[in-house]
Amino acid sequence: MAAASSPLPTTALSPAGIAGFLLDIHERSNELGYHELHRFTLQRLAAVFPFDAGLLAMGTIQNGVPHGHDVVLHNKTPEFMESWEEIKHEDKVALQAFGNPGKTANVDIEGPIFDGCDRAREHCRKWGLAHVLCTSMISSAAGLYWVASVYRSDQTKPFSEEERQAMEIVVPHIFSAARRAHLGQLRTQAHIRDAHGQAGAIANESGLVLEAEPGFVDLLRTGWPGWTGPLLPSDLASELPTKPSVRLVREPVVVRADKSGGFVLLHARRSVAADRLTAREHEIAEAFSLGETHREIGARLGVSPNTVRRHLANIYEKLGIASKAELDRMISGLT
C-alpha cells in the first residue's frame, strides 16, 4: 500500500494562506468600521507578503479625469500625498495601473519606467519607494475607481512574481470588503436593519456617487436607461439636499435615499405591487400593518374611521389581497 502523501505546507503565499487572508477581511468587514477595516487589511496583507508601506485610494472619474475622495495610508504621513500631488502628472506607475485595470504592475523605481521623469523618481527616492506593486479597479458604468499600492524601500528586495499574482488576486476582495464595511456602518447609523434583496450605494449630498455595489448600476439603469455615474440622475439628486429620506419609484425600480453619517445612503430594488400605493395609502397600510386600529389611524391623520376603512378596501383591491396577513407580507418588504 502506498504511503499517504504529506499535506502541502501552509505558507502565507500558498492558496491556504491567501484564502485565510480573504476570510479574515470579509469576516471583519461585519464588525470593523470603514477606516478601521482599511488599516486592518493593510496590516494583515503585510503578513501575506512583506512590504514597508502602502495605500488604498478611492475616487470618481468625471469627464475622463480621476478625482480622489479617500486615501488610507499605511506607514506614511499625510505629507506623502502632498508630495505626490506635485508630481502626479509624471506618475507612470499610476498611468500603467489605470491603463490595465485589474492587472497588478510590478515596478522597479530605478527601472526605465521613470526615464525622463526626474521629479517623480526623486519623489520615490525621498519617500523610500524602491519597488511598487500597484493595482487599479475601474467601474466605467458607475464612474468609480479604486487603487491599492504597496511599497518596499530596499532596492535589493524586489517583489516576486508570486507576490504580484497574490496582490492581483486579493485587491478586488479588499475593496469589496471595504464597501461592505462602509455600507454596514451607515446602515447602522440610519437604523436600517435589513437590506436583503437591495443593492446599496453611497453618495454625497450633491448626488455624486462615491461607492456602489455592482448591482446598483444595473438596477438604476432599469429606471434610467443609459445612466452612467458618478452623478445620480437629476430627478433623484435634486431631492437629496432638502429631505432626510427620499423614496422614488421609477418603474421597474425603487430607490430610497437616507442621510447617514454625513453621506447619503442609497438602496435600489425592483418594484413590487405595494409600490403602486399612493403616499396616503402607504401610510395607512403601514399603520394598519403595525397594529393601529381604524380609529387610531383616523385620529392621527384627521379623517374618520370610515374613511380609513375605504382606503384599506382600495388598498386590498389594488394589491389583489384579501387579508391583513397578506398586507403585512407586502408592506414588510418595502423601504
Domain extents for the chain? 15-186, 191-271, 274-332
What confidence score (pLDDT) does residue 3 get?
43
Tell me how far apart the alpha carbons of residues 184 and 186 are, in angstroms, rounded to a whole number: 5
What is the CA angle 266-268-270, rounded to 5? 165
C-alpha grid cell, residue 70: 479617500
Tell me the per-residue pLDDT of 127-158, one tens digit each, with 9 for 90 and over: 999 999 999 999 999 999 999 999 999 999 99
What confidence score (pLDDT) does residue 240 get?
86
CATH code 3.60.15.10 for 15-186: no
SS3 of 72, please?
strand
What confidence score (pLDDT) does residue 334 get?
57
Tell me how far apart the alpha carbons of residues 294 and 224 are, in angstroms, rounded to a whole number: 39
What confidence score (pLDDT) does residue 232 get?
96
Tell me how far apart the alpha carbons of residues 69 and 154 are, in angstroms, rounded to a whole number: 30
CATH number of 191-271: 1.10.3720.10, 4.10.520.10, 1.20.120.1690, 3.30.450.20?
Answer: 3.30.450.20
What confidence score (pLDDT) does residue 7 get?
44
H, E, C per residue of 10-46: CCCCCHHHHHHHHHHHHHHCCCCCHHHHHHHHHHHHC
Tell me the per-residue pLDDT of 261-278, one tens digit each, with 9 for 90 and over: 999 999 999 887 777 777
Given this chain, do its domains 15-186 and 191-271 carry the same CATH topology? Answer: yes
Question: Is residue 4 predicted with pLDDT exceeding 80?
Answer: no
- Give 284's DSSP letter: H
Question: Is residue 244 predicted with pLDDT exceeding 90?
Answer: no
**Within 13 A of 207's CA, how many CA atoms are on the CB side?**
16
- Give 292's DSSP letter: -
Tell me how far apart the alpha carbons of residues 227 and 253 are, in angstroms, rounded to a whole number: 13
Place of cell 479604486: 146
Question: Is residue 110 predicted with pLDDT exceeding 80?
Answer: yes
Question: Is residue 49 predicted with pLDDT exceeding 50?
Answer: yes
**Once rounded to an integer, what is the mean pLDDT over residues 71-83?**
96
SS3 of 131, please?
strand
**Once rounded to an integer, what is the mean pLDDT over residues 72-90?**
95
Tell me the per-residue pLDDT of 164-212, one tens digit each, with 9 for 90 and over: 999 999 999 999 999 999 999 999 998 887 777 889 999 999 999 999 9
Question: Is residue 8 predicted with pLDDT exceeding 50?
Answer: no
E strand or H helix that includes residue 112? none
Please spell the DSSP secondary structure of 217-238, one letter per residue.
HHHHHHHSTT--SSBPPHHHHT
C-alpha grid cell, residue 262: 454625513
Tell me how far apart the alpha carbons of residues 38 and 43 are, in angstroms, rounded to a whole number: 9
Tell me, which fold does domain 274-332 have in CATH? Arc Repressor Mutant, subunit A (1.10.10)
